[in-house]
Chain A
């Protein structure tokens, strides 16, 4: 097997120390909201990991720990009238949009009060009230669905946009190419967001593709693209703001590639340094130095925008809320047996 050279350079090389975040001129309220948003996702994902470790959740949970900056940065430019679709690793996308934490935990435990009424589990989440219209684990499957949602946005005549989240592995699916081409040829209002975490379930991107830069596919389809440090929430938010404005204004599709890294395995709460080809403990340790939450917190502390105490308090608040969500989910009832057949068809014979 050929191993190719990185085109992303320092963005994908954790041996290169990441630059400190520049918070000058940033509204402190916005910065703190980003921090709180990422922390809420981190703590929720850790609590979900605990549910898996305790055997309470069997549904495959793909955790976004380490990748929080992408969902938080992108969501900052979105409205509830936009139409967002995700993939197998979408707890973060949902929570960053303001999706209901109680509903998420209940869904993960297969309870009737879950976001999908207990019928979907971790990989099928639905919260249209915040603009999240569904996620599914077939890699790449929601990319054309988001393109169709963009077609609906255009037929509606407003300025809503569709957003498609996917990973670097999805770029290896044929439907990715078909969807970019369809969106470009129809000039549809869709933002493609690739969370390039450099691994498919287990295999390093340079063992799968001749380049680790996924935005090259956008170039091939004449789609405006930006590649950013996906562990820098400010960089993600700035790029997303620019691209969403372009899409909203009728400029056609856009593509955001956010280079990041997951701290946990493809599925479940373990590190998975043993199963990844080249995913070593050394690499993981280096990437943790680029932790998106630590980086923003350090910048905010350095600029005296937050103190250690406010951070502590924020953390405690987030954790308390998650404990509540877990307790409510554990106490909630399972779906009634009739739910098995109730929603196969919407219209009854």
Chain B
């Protein structure tokens, strides 16, 4: 028997679309550039030809109206996925995401809710600068009524998209172009309820807890591998679901390790790393923290364009390793 074929993160997203469009006639995709690899990489290749351009709809340059239209169709029983090829551009649609989709169930007494999935792609680096770079998951984790997921693996890229679309609530699904090369061996799709998903321990360890979401979870894993070669046994928690956030897995991990390093692709002030630390700190007995927790985040500045500055801007696995060494009182290497 040959080894199972591994599927990349981008292709895994495409598999989720194929599963959804093939099995659920109430699903459709709408957004700018969905007929073009230029916008969505290999994550939607061939879908328009296979399922028809009436179900895979490329649109005018209108983030706000397209998001509102997806919400409107969702209120009529459909399960649209609205695609924002860059999270930065999605900010033009925030009224529909925050004021409409997130609040619809509550403000109408739970009688209807838009089962819409808002796919926001983080696309940064490559000298793209301040408005082609942002990871704003923390904004949306703040809003009640919205679910927010950030897959870090190819398996989650596929399965969390399926779960998001089949959820009865509005979901922001945030994927990351920097993860598109990451591969997993995928079995068949087995839909699971999104409400049952939450943070997951990716690697077991005794000395320190590393937690992150999306690309930051991958940085945690890379850092844990590097630390292991020096005898530091790090536990890694992939946050996966940021809203509603269930900190139980991280709290349990820190009770075991006594040390916490949170890695986040956003900024530190009022950011998601702060939320993780707060949840641990207020869990009783200082959360079992034996040392002050640390955050590895972006410098508090918009993304630069120049490659010389960009290489300092985005956190790396090496930066995580250095932060953990500092946290544990070990000398830097």
Interface residues of A (CB under 8 A from B): 83, 85, 114, 116-120, 124, 126, 128, 133-134, 136, 138, 141, 143-153, 155-156, 162, 174-175, 178-179, 181-182, 185-186, 339, 342-349
Contact = CB atoms under 8 A, between A and B. Distances in A.
A178 B109 contact: no
B96 A144 contact: yes
Contact of B194 (A124, A151, A344, A347): A347
A343 B169 CA distance: 10
Interface string B178-212: 00000000000000011110000000000000000
Nearest to A114: B109
Contacts of A162: 72
Contacts of A145: 68-69, 71-72, 75, 96, 100
Contacts of A155: 28, 54, 73, 78
Contact of A141 (B80, B100, B109): B100
B66 interface: yes
A146 B72 contact: yes
- For chain B, the bracket of interface size reads 35 or more
Contacts of A85: 72
14 contacts: A138-B99, A144-B96, A145-B75, A147-B72, A148-B70, A152-B72, A152-B73, A152-B76, A152-B77, A175-B64, A178-B64, A185-B60, A186-B57, A345-B105
Contact of A126 (B108, B168, B169): B108
Given A343-B105, A345-B145, A126 B111 contact: yes
A83 B72 CA distance: 10
A149 B66 CA distance: 12
A346 to B, nearest CB: 4
B105 A179 contact: no
Contacts of B73: 148-149, 151-152, 155
B65 interface: yes
Interface of B: 28, 54, 57, 59-60, 62, 64-78, 80, 95-96, 99-100, 104-113, 144-145, 147, 167-169, 193-196, 244, 246
Given A145-B68, A344-B144, A347-B169, 15 more contacts: A116-B108, A116-B111, A117-B108, A128-B112, A138-B100, A141-B95, A141-B99, A143-B68, A144-B72, A145-B100, A149-B73, A178-B64, A179-B68, A343-B106, A345-B147
A119 B65 contact: no
Contacts of A148: 68-76, 80
A182 B244 contact: no
A346 B109 contact: no
A117 B111 contact: yes
A248 to B, nearest CB: 16
Contact of A174 (B64, B80, B107): B64
A343 B112 contact: no
